[in-house]
Amino acid sequence: MRRAGEDAVYAVRGYSSWRFGERAEDWIDKVYFSAPRERIAHVAITVTNDQAQETSSFSLERDGEQGWVLLGAGDVRSPADGDKVDSLLRAMSRVSLSKLVGRIDDDEVAFGVPVAELALGLAAEPPATEPGAQASEESAQVGGLQEGVEDAVGAGEAAEASSAAASDEPAAVAIEETRILRVALAPGESDRYWLHAEGSEFVADVSRWTIRELLDAVMQDFQASELEVEVDEESADSAKIEERETGRNESEHDGGEAS
């Protein structure tokens, strides 16, 4: 081997030619579009049906620990099929390219009218906890409880009512960043597509198979079945009852200690 700019040649061990690509695309990062799945809190999809040439749009929104909700026309909210959402995100939160087409502003790169668009809204990352901060917080909480022990019963009832009211309202998730991917049919092709990620200067080429979860997305497929809705409602009701009972028992316990 010889270093660029030097005349000396070296004999090396462990070299294998297959480790070094011969083409330019062998040296690029094949992951073209990605988003951390654990932070995805909102999904907006627009798809044009190839045969009917009809465009449909819908959104999915993370609903706390209860899963996902589907937002249709007029932002009507309904429970979403969690497995279907997970399947979509597994496929589209990390998309690898087959090859680079060129720069989006190049004259020879004719990126056509998009047939699909995906927007992934990312929630803010949880703040990192400093060492010792949790212990200090717990100590402060204990001190606060000791100072207000005489009002434990009244405070417990107020907290129970507040918790019950809050649990009935959907918690809004603040979106910190949105990553957008647009899809167009490759010129002269029926099974190849070009991708352009907003903010990227490059256009990528992929097969239909790579992005099938997006191209085949239909709003009705993301609706939860009636059985799933009934199970989710029963689980939510049970959780609320358990939470209220726990709060009531803690209040009675604290009140007993104060007396």
CATH code, domain with 182: 2.60.40
DSSP 9-70: ----SS--GGGS-SSGGGGS-SEEEE--GGGEEEEEEEEE-TTT--EEEEEEEE-GGG-EEE
Instruction: List the beta bridge partners of residue 200.
Output: none
Classify residue 14: in a domain, yes or no: no
Q: Is the pTM value of this prediction over 0.75?
A: no
108 and 215 assigned to the same domain:
yes
34 and 139 assigned to the same domain:
no
Contact (Cβ atoms closer than 8 angstroms) between residue 115 and residue 212: no
Residues in the chain: 259
User: How many domains does the chain fold into?
Assistant: 2
Domain that holds residue 72: 25-124+174-224
Classify residue 101: in a domain, yes or no: yes
- Position 27 scores a pLDDT of 78
Q: What is the pLDDT of residues 86-134, one digit of tens each?
A: 999 999 999 999 999 999 999 999 999 999 999 999 999 876 655 565 5
Give per-10-residue mean pLDDT for the chain (259 aa). 89 74 76 96 91 84 86 85 96 96 93 96 78 57 51 51 49 86 93 96 96 95 73 54 63 57
231 and 116 assigned to the same domain:
no
- Position 153 scores a pLDDT of 45
For residues 194 and 103, give the distance between their C-alpha atoms in angstroms, rounded to a whole number. Answer: 12
- Position 177 scores a pLDDT of 96
- Position 2 scores a pLDDT of 85
